[in-house]
Chains A and B, each alone.
Chain A
Amino acid sequence: MKKSRGSNKALPIGEEIKEKVGAVLVVGGGVSGIQASLDLANSGFKVCLLDKFPSIGGTMSQLDKTFPTNDCAMCILAPKLVEVSRHPNVSLITNAEVESVEGTPGHFGVNIKKKARSIDETACTGCDICLDNCPVRNKPQISKPEVVLIKDEKIDAITDRYKDKEGSLIQALLDVNSQYNYLPENELRYIAERLDLPLSQVYSIGSFYSAFTFKPRGKHLIRVCTGTACHVRGASKILEEVERKLEINPGETTEDKTFTLETVNCLGCCALGPVMVVDEDYHGKLTVNKVEKILKSYG
């Protein structure tokens, strides 16, 4: 469908505009789009509100509470939804996407692609009967991938320790982390199963805390302290030298899986700064020149 306002043909860019058109297309029917449409419509502009989903409301309609006041999201949004749908100056175009925009301010032409609804909009009354009778509704369209969980006795031992203890997931993951040096995927799925927690919760903990990583670490773990005390004593130069020598960035592992480089915010041995720890060995009062020798002694 091609939609253009003012004249039938959009003016090419640069051509002088004689008469500006007081109509606006708002793209995106979330709360900000709705509010913008209402403000414009109340000031007398004709507004087309477009959204790619079959209904307007956006993310806010799915939220329980809003930041920072903890107000109920629907209580704010619902009156606006009703108002925008009833406003004489607003027309809704849903289930549609913008394909291209041409023209100049005051004379835009917009190509909109309306997706197939497969329902005659003029005849539909929204009675809901088809919805109730639809045999495929509420069935997942994509089948869940079959994941074979490998039984892991180490994990069994850990989960036995923490089962039925409220709030112990972080503790359990710390134990997994010290067993494997990282959090392997199979073990995470397995622990979620054993502790009867959603995998998403396990993943959110694993990705939030800096002690955890989903990638295997190398044979030697290098941690360069970038705490303030070390920083003012030149830790960044040390870090750069390690990066250069190993050709990896912090958080990465060398190709031969010998070294993993990480930074740490403070080791609390500031008297030694700048300091770097390889596995359990502390190397203090570093200079750029000492780095190579230390790395060679492990490599």
Chain B
Amino acid sequence: MKLNSPEELEKLREKILSERDPNKPCIAICAGTGCLALGAQRVINAFKEEIRKQELEAEVDIRETGCPGFCEKGTVVVIYPEGICYFQVQPEDSPEIISAIKEKKIVDRLLYTDPSTGKKVIHEHEIPFYKNQTRLLIDSNVKIDPKNIEDYIALGGYSALSKALSRMTPEQVLEEVKKSDLRGRGGGGFPTGRKWETTRNAPGEPKYVIVNCDEGDPGAFMDRALMEGNPHSVLEGLTIGAYAIGSHEGFIYIRQEYPLAVENVKIALKQAKIYGFAGKNILGSNFDFTIKVHRGAGAFVSGESSALMTALEGKVGEPRPKHIHTSIEGLWNKPSNLNNVETWANIPLIINRGAKWFSRIGTEKSKGTKIFSLVGKVNNTGLVEVPMGTTLRKLIYDIGGGIPEGKKFKAVQTGGPSGGCVPESLIDLPIDFDELKKAGSMMGSGGMIIMDEDTCMVDVARYFLNFLKDESCGKCTPCREGVAQMHAILTDICEGRGTENDLELLEELAEVVKDTSLCQLGATSPNPVLSTLRYFRDEYNAHIMDKKCPARVCKALIHYSIIEEKCTGCGLCAKKCPQGAIIGERRKPHVIDQSRCIKCGICFDSCRFDAIEVK
């Protein structure tokens, strides 16, 4: 089945398309990790069973797709060719949906209800969550089965590779990427074309190309969605990059915490080899390229470029000083080009549609689209893809649907643990690499954690430092000791032991860690502290001066009590209290014995009359 020329690829594409009936109903069910966690496998099995029972195998197709992004409403089922979207589908719903397909009807109750108008929305492109996005990369996720290369080919897959290999020289490919002004999506925002050029021109053979899928930022899962949902787009981009750089060996470094992504990319690789998109003499062009998959073993710092390369060598994944950049001396001291999953996935688009088209999207200095994972205190949790320069307001309110329970928006945390918090006052900030940096945060890999009035910013800063404290590899002193000390100071503040001098000390320490750490993990680790200090100093002061936590999060500074008028004396909280700290007679207002209370919050959660208050 090996394809030996671009013509053979086109012929295969025509053959696949001619064998497929565009009007045949197809049930696309999300089988991404998010939906699987919600029980998508049971839904898929139910549909298969139902189709088998009704003997509809010839009339209806089932496709297990990657993540469409709208995780809040999983399991997501889309009926093609109409594009009818059903949300929160349960296994029991399968007979009803299948009979609706047969009768060309719609199951009203599973449709999306627009919260602003209260109307039912049928099609994907009409739902506000999707309508306001520009889905260039992630859109294919719903249209293909990641385990089937033919789906990708049918959508025009590998045409960019074929174009690059047959009609472009490596120099032209490089020039095109440079002209597109694509910047690295892993967080740093370094111009991809320039990085490629450095590796291409660096002395030494062999040269390596690497995909960084060690997505360690908590709350970020766009790389996983691409790897799970559309692995071929990454493989295609990587191969084009290798051709431009002059590399014949590529690596995919992928977290073992993403078992499905590992599985799908391995299958994709196997199929690519069979079809001749990887291996020797790709598409008859005399270009050889092999790819290996390497599983990471769980270390946040290994996502850093030099650390990742050390890990690829089978060693402890610690960063090394970068007097000489990894593009020149990287893996096994050879020139190595490392890019993030999303960066690689952009390459086929640029080659197919041209640098000019690409550079029209986005802002002056940040081109293209970016996938963000919108999580935390937001109504529509999920993956969203928008052009660079989209404002936070559009992202949070138009796409994200605002804050749950009508609470007040407080801040958004971007860029993962080393990023920063952007406050409500900057909600009209256009999101791109430079604007976020100016606001004291960074793009990072694209995690957006939304926080509302119930989130304590001091606690958030402490949370991130606790994370970084554990993830610091310990090689250099400023990061190992500095982060631990900052964490200790913040813990003191959270537990009511803060003093007036603490903030000054924190700032001083933060500057030292920022200036003297070996790698970016350390150098960016003070960001959560500095940005919360910059925008939420009054919250710090409330903790220190008044010994109060305004968001009622920090345990040492709050206490639970029972509102006498509201308590009915049902005794539920007393039964649940692990400390036996709640006392009172039946049908009479209870009280909490403060000396025994450990502030676990169980009573607050279990009270049905809102009679427990936190102060």
Check B476 against A68 for contact (C-beta < 8 Å): yes
Choose the segment among A91-99, A107-115, A124-132, A264-272 that binds chain B (4+ C-beta atoms closer than 8 Å): A264-272
Q: Please, which residues of chain A bring their CB within 8 A of the CB of B315?
A: 167, 201, 205
Check A289 against B219 for contact (C-beta < 8 Å): no
Against B, the Cβ 8 Å flags (1 = close, 0 = not) of A193-232 are 0000000010011001111100000000000001111111
Q: How far is the CB of A250 from chain B (nearest CB, A)?
A: 11
Task: Using A70-B321, A209-B298, A271-B382 as known contacts, say yes or no to A229 and B219 having CB atoms under 8 A apart.
Answer: yes
* Pick from B224, B258, B518, B576: contact of A67, CB under 8 Å: B518
Check A227 against B219 for contact (C-beta < 8 Å): yes
Chain A, residue nearest B225 (CB):
A268
Check B323 against A70 for contact (C-beta < 8 Å): yes
Check A228 against B311 for contact (C-beta < 8 Å): no
Residues on A lying within 8 angstroms of B by beta carbon are 67-68, 70, 166-171, 173-174, 201, 204-205, 208-212, 226-234, 237, 240-241, 244, 264-273, 275, 282, 284, 287-289
Check A166 against B298 for contact (C-beta < 8 Å): no
Alpha-carbon separation in the docked complex, A266 to B34 (Å): 12
Q: Is B217 an interface residue (CB 8 A)?
A: yes
Check B576 against A289 for contact (C-beta < 8 Å): yes
Against A, the Cβ 8 Å flags (1 = close, 0 = not) of B294-306 are 1111111000000
Query: What are 22 inter-chain pairs, A to B, with CB distance below 8 A?
Result: A167-B314, A169-B314, A170-B314, A171-B295, A171-B314, A205-B314, A209-B297, A210-B297, A211-B257, A228-B219, A228-B413, A228-B447, A228-B449, A228-B463, A230-B218, A266-B221, A269-B34, A270-B375, A271-B74, A282-B38, A284-B37, A288-B602
Q: Please, which residues of chain A bring their CB within 8 A of the CB of B451?
A: 232
Check A171 against B294 for contact (C-beta < 8 Å): yes
Check A272 against B38 for contact (C-beta < 8 Å): yes
Q: Is B600 an interface residue (CB 8 A)?
A: yes
Check B297 against A68 for contact (C-beta < 8 Å): no
Q: Is B201 an interface residue (CB 8 A)?
A: no
Alpha-carbon separation in the docked complex, A283 to B455 (Å): 23
Q: How far is the CB of B292 from chain A (nearest CB, A)?
A: 9
Task: Using A166-B313, A209-B299, A288-B602 as known contacts, say yes or no to A270 and B37 having CB atoms under 8 A apart.
Answer: no
Q: Please, which residues of chain B bring their CB within 8 A of the CB of A67?
A: 321, 475-477, 518
Q: Is B606 an interface residue (CB 8 A)?
A: yes
* Pick from B323, B373, B600: contact of A288, CB under 8 Å: B600
Chain A, residue nearest B476 (CB):
A67
Q: Is B460 an interface residue (CB 8 A)?
A: yes
Against A, the Cβ 8 Å flags (1 = close, 0 = not) of B264-300 are 0000000000000000000000000000001111111
Alpha-carbon separation in the docked complex, A228 to B468 (Å): 12
Q: How far is the CB of B562 from chain A (nearest CB, A)?
A: 17
Chain B, residue nearest A273 (CB):
B375
Chain B interface residue bracket vs A: 35 or more
Q: Is B19 an interface residue (CB 8 A)?
A: no
Check B314 against A68 for contact (C-beta < 8 Å): no
Check B71 against A289 for contact (C-beta < 8 Å): no
Check B606 against A289 for contact (C-beta < 8 Å): yes
Task: Using A227-B218, A266-B219, A271-B382 as known contacts, say yes or no to A211 and B256 having CB atoms under 8 A apart.
Answer: yes
* Pick from B34, B256, B464: contact of A268, CB under 8 Å: B34
Check A167 against B37 for contact (C-beta < 8 Å): no
* Pick from A232, A237, A268: contact of B221, CB under 8 Å: A268
How many residue pairs bridge A and B at CB < 8 Å? 152
Against A, the Cβ 8 Å flags (1 = close, 0 = not) of B346-358 are 0000000000000
Check A208 against B463 for contact (C-beta < 8 Å): no
Task: Using A67-B518, A288-B605 as known contacts, say yes or no to A170 and B297 having CB atoms under 8 A apart.
Answer: yes
Check B295 against A170 for contact (C-beta < 8 Å): yes
Q: Please, which residues of chain B bring their CB within 8 A of the CB of A208?
A: 299, 316-318, 473
Alpha-carbon separation in the docked complex, A237 to B552 (Å): 13
Alpha-carbon separation in the docked complex, A241 to B598 (Å): 11
Alpha-carbon separation in the docked complex, A282 to B373 (Å): 20
Check A266 against B377 for contact (C-beta < 8 Å): no
Task: Using A232-B376, A269-B34, A289-B576 as known contacts, say yes or no to A244 and B600 having CB atoms under 8 A apart.
Answer: yes
Query: Known contacts A171-B295, A210-B299; can you find 11 more A-B pairs with CB under 8 A?
Result: A67-B476, A170-B297, A174-B295, A205-B314, A209-B297, A228-B219, A228-B464, A231-B218, A237-B600, A270-B71, A282-B38
Alpha-carbon separation in the docked complex, A57 to B381 (Å): 58
Task: Using A68-B518, A174-B297, A232-B460 as known contacts, say yes or no to A271 and B449 having CB atoms under 8 A apart.
Answer: no
Check A266 against B299 for contact (C-beta < 8 Å): no
Check B218 against A269 for contact (C-beta < 8 Å): no
Alpha-carbon separation in the docked complex, A230 to B218 (Å): 9
Alpha-carbon separation in the docked complex, A169 to B219 (Å): 29
Alpha-carbon separation in the docked complex, A269 to B381 (Å): 9
Q: Please, which residues of chain B bring their CB within 8 A of the CB of A237?
A: 600-601
Check A244 against B71 for contact (C-beta < 8 Å): no
Q: Is B191 an interface residue (CB 8 A)?
A: no
Q: How far is the CB of A196 from chain B (nearest CB, A)?
A: 13
Q: Is B33 an interface residue (CB 8 A)?
A: yes
Q: How far is the CB of A179 from chain B (nearest CB, A)?
A: 14
